[in-house]
Amino acid sequence: MSHPARRNRPTPADGRPIKITFGEMREMGVGGVLTYYHCGDHVALDADRWPDDVRLSDFEPRLHYGDATL
CA 26 to CA 48: how far, in whole Å?
8
SS (H, E, C) the chain: CCCCCCCCCCCCCCCCCCCCEHHHHHHCCCCEEEEECCCCCEEEEEHHHCCCCCEHHHHHHHCCCCCCCC
For residues 34-50, average pLDDT = 84
On average, the pLDDT of the chain sits at: 75
Higher pLDDT, 11 or 45: 45
pLDDT at position 7 over 70: no
| pLDDT at res. 53 | 92
Higher pLDDT, 50 or 66: 50
| pLDDT at res. 52 | 93
